[in-house]
């Protein structure tokens, strides 16, 4: 087993862990010696078996499901709140002229439930256990869309800006209690959210698409450096950096 200072022997939960970035996080954390619980609304048992972990079906938008999970588990050292969806099949490509015209109320409720409630409810359910044990880390998967405009998907941008604000505000509040909250803000990642049309557009603007492994690298760095309320960005072809928002009160 790895002797990694944060993940070696750690109890870790990853939401949205069955595919995409979540799967990458699960595989990386397990490779560093973590005991990983893969949580997803889809069946993640095959992945859990591959990495020597466990799986649980979880609707992150359901407060009762979070309470049940907290009651059933003996706490976590690291919680990666990664589950996320969009209002359209792909974040870039195929957008209509007026993006909100394609978004119904049910679409809005769904994305808010997963992207925002999934972070807030998860934190509310699992934070008491961390505080009782004297520490832990919560790592939120936000997006570069939480730092800059994303015209093709404004509701997605809204949700990611929301969780960035949550992390920035909660981080300093929890630091004195030994709990670190930070966020990953990657650019375009090679996941099912990036369609063939999206890839063409992304390449046309020389933005690049990074592998999931690059986000896993960033996650490990964020956990190692343990900076309260920090935002970690990664863009294809550039060095990952800790993003520092401008101070509006110089």
Quick: pLDDT tens for 194-205: 544 444 444 433
The whole model's pTM is what? 0.91
| Nearest CA among 67, 60, 26 for reference residue 44 | 26
Residue 248 placed within a domain: no
Residue 99 placed within a domain: yes
Quick: pLDDT tens for 21-32: 999 999 999 999
Q: CA–CA separation, 165 vs 183, rounded Å?
A: 10
Q: What is the mean pLDDT of residues 97-117?
A: 91
Average pLDDT, the chain: 89
Contact present, 55 and 40 (Cβ < 8 Å): yes
- pLDDT beyond 50 at 12: yes
Residue 239 placed within a domain: no
Q: CA–CA separation, 1 vs 210, rounded Å?
A: 28
pLDDT value at residue 198? 47
Higher pLDDT, 79 or 211: 79
pLDDT value at residue 96? 55
Whose structure tokens read 């981080």?
A: 171
What are the CA-CA distances from residue 179 to residues 54, 78, 156, 185, 201 (Å)?
24, 10, 27, 20, 40
- pLDDT beyond 60 at 155: yes
- pLDDT beyond 50 at 63: yes
Quick: pLDDT tens for 175-188: 999 999 999 999 87
Higher pLDDT, 97 or 213: 213
Q: What is the mean pLDDT of residues 158-166?
A: 98
Residue 51 placed within a domain: yes
Residue 43 placed within a domain: yes
pLDDT value at residue 193? 55
Return the ∠ at Cα 210 (arms to 205 and 215), rounded to 5°: 135
- pLDDT beyond 50 at 165: yes
Quick: pLDDT tens for 116-152: 999 999 999 999 999 999 999 999 999 999 999 988 8
Residue 244 placed within a domain: no
**Most distant CA pair in the chain, distance:** 53
- pLDDT beyond 80 at 47: yes
Residue 237 placed within a domain: no
Domain extent, residue 79, equals 11-231
**Which tokens sit at 101?**
């015209």
Q: CA–CA separation, 63 vs 79, rounded Å?
A: 16
Residue 114 placed within a domain: yes
Quick: pLDDT tens for 202-250: 443 335 688 899 999 999 999 999 999 999 998 877 788 899 998 898 7
Q: How many structural domains are present in the chain?
A: 1
Among all residues, which ones are annotated catalytic? 156
CATH for 51: 3.40.50.720
Q: Please report which confidence band the pLDDT of residue 110 belongs to, taking 50, 70 and 90 as the band edges.
A: very high
């Amino acid at each position: 087993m790895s002797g990694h200072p944060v993940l070696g022997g750690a109890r870790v939960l990853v939401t949205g862990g069955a595919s995409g970035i979540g799967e990458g996080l699960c595989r990386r954390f397990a490779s560093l010696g973590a005991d990983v619980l893969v949580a997803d609304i889809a069946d993640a048992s095959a992945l859990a078996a591959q990495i020597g972990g466990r799986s649980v079906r979880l609707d992150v938008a359901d407060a009762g499901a979070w309470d049940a999970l907290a009651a059933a588990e003996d706490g976590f050292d690291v919680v990666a709140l990664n589950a996320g969806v969009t209002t359209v099949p792909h974040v870039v490509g195929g957008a209509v002229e007026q993006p909100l015209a394609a978004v119904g109320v049910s679409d809005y409720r769904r994305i808010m439930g997963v992207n925002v409630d999934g972070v807030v409810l998860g934190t509310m359910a699992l934070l008491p256990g961390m505080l009782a044990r004297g520490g832990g880390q919560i790592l939120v998967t936000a997006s570069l869309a939480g730092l800059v405009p994303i015209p093709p998907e404004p509701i997605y941008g809204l949700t990611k800006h929301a969780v960035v604000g949550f992390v920035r505000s909660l981080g300093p509040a929890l630091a004195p209690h030994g709990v670190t909250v930070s966020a990953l803000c990657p650019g375009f990642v090679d996941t099912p959210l990036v369609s063939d049309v999206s890839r063409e557009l992304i390449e046309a603007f020389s933005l690049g698409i990074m592998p999931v492994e690059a986000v896993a690298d960033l996650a490990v760095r964020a956990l190692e450096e343990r900076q309260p309320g920090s935002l970690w960005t990664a863009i294809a072809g550039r060095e990952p950096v800790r993003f520092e928002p401008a101070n509006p009160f110089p």
